[in-house]
Structure 1
Amino acid sequence: MKNRLFFLLLMLFSIRAMAQVDLTWKDLANISYTEKYFAAYDSNFLYPRFSDEISNLEGKEVSISGYFLDMDPNGQLFILSKNPLASCFFCGNGGPETAVELQFKTRPDFKTDDIVLITGKLKLNKDDVEHFNYILTDCSGFRIK
């Protein structure tokens, strides 16, 4: 009987350890920036310094909810935003930490400003100014509203 109980407890802890982590926008806001010069653009960009808590989640499956933004008419750039399109990062409401680049396996069936829950593997981007600081790869998701 003790062996069965031990095995059951071990299974429960193992399942919990493999589950995705639920992120909030407050979690992503725990970031600092310094300016860094990028010769390819002959310009300074904000270079992120991620918190230890976020750095420890890199490569792990996470979930976060927000506003879906389809930013490219060809369907190549999808963003999850803390705010709807009319008040998103690109409109000056918030910094880069209020938007996450989404990379789906297949094109999602969401419309701009749908409120969605997205799950994917967290990638932290420090050096590629062509992409967002936070990227979710292998994304899946569903509409909340």
Structure 2
Amino acid sequence: MVDQEPKGWELFEKVKFSPKYFEEAEAYFDVPTFNEELKALEKTEVTLTGHYIPLELDSIFMLSALPFSSCFFCGGAGPETVAEIQMEKIPALAPDQIVKVKGRLRLNDSDINHMNFILEDSKIIK
């Protein structure tokens, strides 16, 4: 029997967020409360398919469940619709290109310099 691939975006949608003040930024940020189902997946390999959002970094990009025009950064979608993808080297990709990525899930509820959902040691699956 083959294990089913966890449904990342669907699990992220179940996360509850509440505002918290961060002194270092002098601002409020939405902080996640991760449910047990998602916590059980931390440090396991997760696959996500989404829209590539470039950053000016060599080894990190954002993956959005929604197209760029309606994503978390531009269109007002929630933080559950984006994941930070960390990989050794990002191949040439076009903004908004749909890609499938596999990586080790890390959940973040305290570092405001990173997203709440992070895939480490990621690879793009063809």
TM-score (norm 1): 0.78
Larger helix share, 1 or 2: 1
The residue aligned with 2:105 is: 122
Structure number, greater radius of gyration = 1
Q: Which residue number in structure 2 is paired with residue 111 of structure 1?
A: 94
Q: Aligned with 1:41: secondary structure?
A: coil
Distance in 2 of aligned mates of 1:105 and 1:21? 23
Letter in 2 for 1:27: L
Partner Cα distance (2:102, 2:61) in 1 = 14
Shift of 1:142: 3.4
- Structure number with the bigger relative contact order (C-alpha 8 A, sep ≥ 6) is 2
- How many aligned positions are there? 126
C-alpha displacement of 1:76: 4.9
Gap regions ≥5 residues in structure 1: 1-11
1:50, distance to aligned residue in structure 2 (A): 0.9
Q: Percent identity?
A: 35
What TM-score results when the alignment is normalised by the length of structure 2?
0.89
How big is the alpha-carbon RMSD for the aligned residues of Structure 1 and Structure 2? Answer: 1.9
Q: Would you say the 8 A contact 2:51–2:64 is kept in 1?
A: yes
1:1-145 equivalent positions in 2, closer than 5 A: 16=2, 21-72=5-56, 74-142=57-125
* Whole-Å separation in 1 of the counterparts to 2:38 and 2:63: 17
